[in-house]
Structure 1
């Protein structure tokens, strides 16, 4: 039987919502027999008729959910191996160029990475959505995060025509992702770019292009994150200077995108400041920052954001390059051999679904406004 529950802090809200729905329904149905408070099967909306035979709890919380959502059956959850406590690959790219090196991925290999991810059932999400648990991924798909450090030219390049018009280089990261998404709209177009200043994406110093690039990225559903203002070694800075460089980065981004929330931070060189807390939050000259996620330079997948093992201040990433080791394909192969370790979506961003055997690993503090659902997996 599928089991559902909502974190206790939302129970009262759910009760009030239920009572309001019942009151409005009664007012609109004056001829309803007072001794018959339940609608029969024919009177229910079509999507509820389809799921009426599913085993749902009769608690007030669950009856509210049943009236507004189509419930996926146990068989479907089991057949897709749905597990939203599984691990997630956060891929780390630096240069997208012409050779394969420790910090560089060729354009063709990057295109092949997208092809492989698509064929293996992955779906693009931003780092921001991942850390906030806002994982809106189709049923049976696995979220994957593409991160790009340093804001190099190969990430986003514009090509100017002789008449002064310009277009996105189809061989830069943004162009490659956008064109792939056009061919495969069921893959998404999300990515997270960690830039530093004064010239993000390091193309010719054309200030009028900077705002255009940022707006273009946001319109594609991509994200701009913090990577300090000048790519400093944070462990060599004073506490004040750590906060200064992080604040200056956000302020520079918001000059191009007013009020844009810079929510995530990729550590430069993978190194924390001496005061690690300052990587998460701090302030400088009255300007306060609070990163929802801090990303490391690592080589293994991240825990689910709903897991008790998830740490917002230390989120691992996988180097996406063939030198010195091809971590990308190693982890692709690992999840093919160990599908039970992989995050698999239930297709509903409002619920968190896990096998019954894993329910003790849920961290309910990370699940505000989420419905928790379990199912037997044996």
Structure 2
């Protein structure tokens, strides 16, 4: 072709229509914890490719139901350090109400020696100051009885960890009014209908349409060893308006709006929470759920499940053939409209050889994934921010 003149190279635009808007995820930060479970923040933006260039758009132009999470769980490595504490001091007063304090220090789990606190700076730390009561002062001996006036909105679960020869149990308590917060009895029907309720039947239909609240949450609970399957029978959600439904549990996290009647949700555990957000009156979903024997075991034999509204928890006893490294847990789930209060009535770390002894108790607030550790033999009181809690007994 050398004798022939070569034409000039040129480019022609073949399609002028822009690509549809989409979500773009960019890692924006490291894991929040140097060891153990933490959160990694990621930047989520709405972008569009136009004529080969990426343009930043307003978030409302991208599908809300498909927006990725802005923070995701992360684990760099298992922790080698943890906070430890001295014994509580005596009550600061000889009568009436006072305070107790204790010293905290960072402990190397391998050497069991104290190290610089900087190694524990990312770990949750239990309280170092708490209230105490040394009994009524003489002039207050005839005072009114405390009935938990500030805790009426809390649904209590009471924790007793005692090394007795009895088998681990969950039972209702017959306590005097001064022993637990006063809780109004749950009404058969509320202004929100199904919203805020806990469903414990093996199967059922939940109608979340025509609810008064734009945000509606329901929970489903079954005994350990079962799992929950859920079908969306009907959906009138307006996806373009940002209406969405979320299915969450210990092993599932799924959001959706489009094609919901074709969806099958499997919790893979014995609990499931459904959160619905609607903007237009009358919209919502109708759900049908069933329970069945779990296809895969997700719990330890010494684990226990509580659904409330109140009860007693005795530390689980490991079976003789169980591995020593097994951590026994107690799961507490209440209706989404309620919160959980855990009060340690008695802690006795005895030396009987036929029992499992626990060096510390770990309480986790599932909604925030924040963990508090309680050491020693002193009683404690803990409250949740959500309707789910987990207790671990560590040896």
More strand by proportion, 1 or 2? 2
Pairwise same-fold verdict (TM > 0.5): no
The two structures have a TM-score, normalised by structure 1, of: 0.28
Structure with greater Cα Rg? 2
